[in-house]
Each structure stands twice: as C-alpha cells, then as structure tokens.
Amino acid sequence: ADGRGREGDRGPAGEVERAGRAAARRGALLQTVREVVHGRGLVGPRPVGRDVETGIDRDGDPDLTAELPAQALIGAEARDFGVYIHVPFCRVRCGYCDFNTYTAEELGGVSRSSYAGEVEKEMAIAERVLAGSPRQVSTVFFGGGTPTLLPVSDLAAMLDGVRSRWGLAPDAEVTVEANPDSVGERELAQLREAGVTRVSFGMQSAVPHVLAVLERTHDPARIPIVVAAAKRVGLEPSLDLIYGTP
C-alpha cells in the first residue's frame, strides 16, 4: 500500500524482521496455551459467565446454547464434513515454522498427557453446535506440531471421539502428520489398526545441509525406511517438501 512492495522484506534485515514478528505472535499464543493447559483458560476454572466466542461457560462447562453463525450453515449439508485436530507439540521448533507449536520447555515442562482429554472437551462443544447434522466425516487430519509425539493410544482416542460423535464415511481419509524420526514400523502399524489410512512425513529436503538450515533433526536416509514401513502396514504415505531453501 505504501508503494514499496516487498523489497524491504528481502535480505538479512528482512529475515530478522520477519523472525521478530513471528516470535511476537508465538509469545502471545504461548500465554494462551499456558492458560489452557494449566486450567486457567478455555477449559479451566473461570469466573461465572459465558465466553460468547467459544461458547464455554467461564466455570469450565460447555454452553448448551452455543450455535454456529447462520451464514456458516448455508449449503452446509451439501459440503463434505472434515475434522482437523491440531497437536501443537514439537521436540524442536524449526526456525522457519510459523504454526502454533511449542516445545515442552516453552510450555514450562507441561505434560502432554492431558491433551487428548482437552480435545475431547472441544469435540463435546462441536457436537452440540452441529447437533442434527446427518453428515458423516469424510476426512480427519491430525496436524501440528508433531502429532506422533503423543502416544498412539491418545491419537486413537481422539479419532474414536470423532467416530462416536459423527461417524466416519466408509471411504474416509484419516491422515496423521509425522516426522521421519518420530515413528517406526510398530507405531505405524498401531496407527493403521486405530483407523488411520494415510501418513504425511515431513521430509522437507533430501540434502543434509538444507535440513540443517531448516533446523530439521532427521537423517534423510531414514525417509525410504519409514515410507517402506508405512506401505508394509497398509498406510498410504506422502511427503512434505520445501523448495527454494538456501
């Protein structure tokens, strides 16, 4: 709008500026996540009264009268019904990532063990909001973060929550994102047994020095190993790649 285009974003100074903006956004989100996990935010004890944006009573109970805006329902029955489940935990934060993700250290050592239960609470709200919809879920996507940092039993419990509330279409695609170094054949087999149909590996690059620049932790030699393992247990593998890296 100022006529300068994006020239100012190029070069080292632009990289520093972008990194600063990303850090500021992460800082604000981090405080919210701390409040949620410690029980002082969306799902914890709060003064009596309802948050009109979340539909949750401030005493922690879902509000039974919460509903979608009218415009969100227009043509809804003709559209596919997809569920995205975000798992914000990472073992290491990559410098290029601007998603809502956190390491255990950033969260002050908070355990990941309670996360599946918190997602179940959000599903309970969504179930009430979407009450009466005849649609089954056609896609479920576990993204992150690194969903496979959670035990497979937690991922299975969240998927069971989707299945029990809305049902899965017979040809539903259920995807879990994974780092190549966060799963082995045993975990992949457990995911398939739980109902997962596809795994998306964060390969990003096959060049070691590029992976180092991106702050990725896996050995590129592991990619064909986990892809072959996924195929053996009946999962459809896919690979995330980044181009234009330094």
pLDDT at 168: 96
pLDDT at 73: 72
Beta bridge partners of 171: none
Q: Dig out the tokens for 11 from the structure.
A: 């070069």
Determine if the peptide bond prior to 11 is cis (ω within 30°).
no
81-87 and 198-204: which strand pairing?
unpaired
pLDDT at 239: 92
pLDDT at 14: 56
Give the number of other CB atoms < 10 A from CB of residue 119.
18
pLDDT at 225: 95
- The tens place of each residue's pLDDT in the chain, 246 residues long, gives 333 344 444 555 555 565 566 556 655 555 554 554 444 333 333 333 444 444 445 455 555 456 667 777 778 788 899 999 998 887 777 666 676 676 666 666 556 788 899 899 989 888 887 777 778 999 999 998 889 989 999 999 999 999 999 999 999 999 999 988 889 999 999 999 999 999 999 888 888 888 787 778 778 888 899 999 999 999 999 998 888 877
Spell 64-75 as b/e; 16+ CB within 10 A means b: eebeeeeeeeee
pLDDT at 28: 56
Nearest to 176 by CA among 205, 204, 197: 197
- CA–CA separation, 172 vs 2, rounded Å? 47
Spell out the SS3 assignment of the chain: CCCCCCHHHCHHHHHHHHHHHHHHHHHHHHHHHHHHHCCCCCCCCCCCCEECCCCEECCCCECCCCCCCHHHHCCHHHCCEEEEEEECECCCCCCCCCCCCECCCCCCCCCCCCHHHHHHHHHHHHHHHCCCCCCCEEEEEEEECCHHHCCHHHHHHHHHHHHHHHCEEEEEEEEEEECCCCCCHHHHHHHHHHCCCEEEEEEECCCHHHHHHCCCCCCHHHHHHHHHHHHHCCCEEEEEECCCCC
pLDDT at 77: 80
Q: For the whole model, what pTM was predicted?
A: 0.70
pLDDT at 30: 53
